[in-house]
Structure 1
């Protein structure tokens, strides 16, 4: 299986001189002293050796890199923030188009929009928009790239109030397989624009995104910890159903982290947690805290008013670059008692402090977009679950992967066949059709139009 083995061979580099002439950014081959750093990605499970890494400085560089890969027959991987759980930001013996240098952002406060280049992270984006008291739905780890999250759909702390990230996408500039730069939005190349909103990286390299913004300044945010007890998620399930859309919470099963507001006796022991982001009025903060207290015995809590960008960083310290990650994910129409029993059972055997299960609500504003309005198809889901081990020692890979697969098998009877593409591993290619449901055939037709040769195939691939 590709996720368990690293390439041991050094790729034979093609003649890179034509590429160096065409590119203003960095062109890094295997003999370059920067090569090992340039090929490294967030998830250390994917230790690939590309033939060349192009660190694009602008859209023209991206166009040159895509054309070079097509003309030479090299596999092409596009890297934004480098967070792909499946390792799709790198490849063996191919060309990696790294957009990480392209991080410009322009906020139009009057129109409440922001244009952001494809290498931006959510830390970059939130910093830029917060200066104007604005935000859009982003992820929950600030080093995540805006590109991968948006193209897969995008769930985060503002989803219930403002919809998925892709629901807030107004337009994009895309380098397609023929090496041209295409502008797309509701009026220009509408089929491509439709496909980008949930269809992943199948249709081109997106070098800029235009987002709708919303007024968000401070939020009441942070974690509350409870014992590992099935009554907590059952009460949380009721809380979600009975909460205003401004009240976004994530449910988690994890090992108690070594934080000062959680008693030491709970450090490293299985617990439940609810991560809060209340973007409503500050005078209701007390009511929100009371509702959290009612979920179960509180072991520890840090819930406070904070700037919105801060709530997006709460997981950062626990998930630094360089860990090994193997994830699975599922959608479900409800959080059934059977699913809760599985979560509690596997919560007892979490393999490491960085491993966890997180359940995202996918309701509220997410349901106001129809199932065929964007490529993101699972609009009838109410929850999206991400689970899997994160660990530091590669020697633990086999044990951790086996644990995650057993967890997945136990959970499947209680969930839908589809899963959120940003939570899936590279051995989940067989789920692509199920993930896109009624939208799959239209995605195939769009793929045939914009990438008939399947140049953009290092992803959860929609084959033409």
Structure 2
């Protein structure tokens, strides 16, 4: 006997079920990375956990590939699939805050913009990403690097519990007391173990921060990168900034005659006393004079969304990444060969510090294994014109080829490309064998395989 029909699926779910014959199909199948053009058989626009379970059951019972889409930011396009089922959680974006407990619950389709708006109203936050349109779910399941990581740990370090639809259709809650092995794996193991429909986070007091971007001449880049390497080793954990190679966008605070030129940028985020934060940022300014800057007090949510306009939906994306134990002079030399060649204003290279609170978690306490690494580097190729795909992809690959031998074997799964499947074992280091065991327990048939896949 065959599995349930599309009509049966429509009868089961409250949300919209979209097939290739339906109006709005092209909109329903579109994802953030315009390089990805896939045609699913069914897109289920889920309104709640029961809709997600129905989509999972439909895929399993019909032997179809299943993609789970949250914020839709997956660079490899894991949120869609040819001929299979997409469980689209983008309609599930509610965030509820319990200020008394210092926690927040976010549905599986919420973005960090949704999250920060809800928690910021109470002067609270947890570690999110750098772009506010990023999904809470995808970022957290891969670990969760962001401005607050040095002070608060990764997003996954602040996860209290998760509601999960398993491959067999069961709905379970995973936390420190129930399904503990699943809870361990969800904190860094990606979307391998189920469809997470809600995340509960621990929050900390973060309201108005002191920070923003500074743009420096490329001639000062070497000295600044060397300074940052030494500065961040023991900087106060209220500081969460990072250096980047970035073409100057046409913003009012940047001299008009410098728009479109490449710079070394340093983006700062200080969560403590503003006067003290200014003194800390002045240490960077003492190394070199900024060409332009927009640094001052602002809501944390404002900084978290400051670069959204540079990365709208519909760009072409190709990324590469590595963890780095130390920013050696050799790897700085490699960055200086390729970083200034950043091709367009949308593309960038970020060197995120992940020490501080991130190092106080044991490498085997969560699936995120690289607790000794001091930096997570991403070469984020993003550009609007498909005609530039070959040239800009080559820039990313050449840059990666120059830096990878000087970096750790593994990288951050959220920054991995679609052609990085052979790196999955290295990305998890000593945690890989245990992740395989959890995968066998919860998804032995590998229904959840559209990800940086841990094969059972």
Same-fold call, TM cutoff 0.5: yes
CA distance in 1, matches of 2:287, 2:88: 44
1:279 match: 271
Q: Pairwise mapping of residues 81-92 of structure 1 onto structure 2 (< 5 A)? A: 81-92=71-82
CA distance in 2, matches of 1:157, 1:173: 26
2:414 match: 422
Give a deviation string over 1:44-95, Cα, whole Å, max 9, x none: 1111111110010110000010000000011000000000111111111110
1:312 CA displacement = 0.3
1:266 CA displacement = 2.1
1:14 CA displacement = 8.8
1:451 CA displacement = 0.2
1:243 match: 235
SS at structure 1 position matched to 2:169: coil
1:440 match: 432
2:294 match: 302
1:350 CA displacement = 1.6
SS at structure 2 position matched to 1:198: coil
- Residue from 46, 64, 78 that aligns with 1:74: 64
Give a deviation string over 1:281-330, Cα, whole Å, max 9, x none: 12313313311312312111100101111110111011111101100010
Q: 2:68–2:86: 8 Å Cα contact kept in structure 1? A: yes
Q: 1:236–1:295: 8 Å Cα contact kept in structure 2? A: no
Q: 1:138–1:146: 8 Å Cα contact kept in structure 2? A: yes
1:109 CA displacement = 0.6
CA distance in 1, matches of 2:443, 2:287: 50
- Residue from 308, 321, 328 that aligns with 1:336: 328
1:10 match: none
Structure 1 gaps of 5+ residues are 1-12
Range with greater deviation from structure 2 (260-269 or 215-224):
260-269
SS at structure 2 position matched to 1:247: coil
- Whether 2:200 is the aligned partner of 1:210: answer yes
Structure 1 runs (4+) greater than 6 angstroms displaced = none
1:226 match: 216
TM-score, with structure 2 as normaliser? 0.98
Give a deviation string over 1:348-378, Cα, whole Å, max 9, x none: 3222111110000010000010000000000
- Whether 2:8 is the aligned partner of 1:26: answer no
1:176 match: 166
SS at structure 1 position matched to 2:376: strand
CA distance in 1, matches of 2:246, 2:116: 27
- Whether 2:132 is the aligned partner of 1:142: answer yes
- Residue from 305, 311, 323 that aligns with 1:319: 311
1:256 CA displacement = 1.7
The two structures, once aligned, show a CA RMSD in angstroms of 1.2
CA distance in 2, matches of 1:285, 1:138: 20
Give a deviation string over 1:124-174, Cα, whole Å, max 9, x none: 000001111110000110000000000000000100000000000010000
Shift in alpha-carbon separation, 1:72–1:349, aligned structure 2, 3 A: same
CA distance in 2, matches of 1:412, 1:131: 42
- Residue from 113, 117, 125 that aligns with 2:115: 125
Give a deviation string over 1:221-260, Cα, whole Å, max 9, x none: 2101101131111111122123100011111011122112
1:359 match: 351
Structure 2 gaps of 5+ residues are none
TM-score, with structure 1 as normaliser? 0.96
CA distance in 1, matches of 2:306, 2:250: 14
- Residue from 188, 191, 198 that aligns with 1:198: 188
SS at structure 1 position matched to 2:241: strand
Count of residue pairs the alignment pairs up: 452
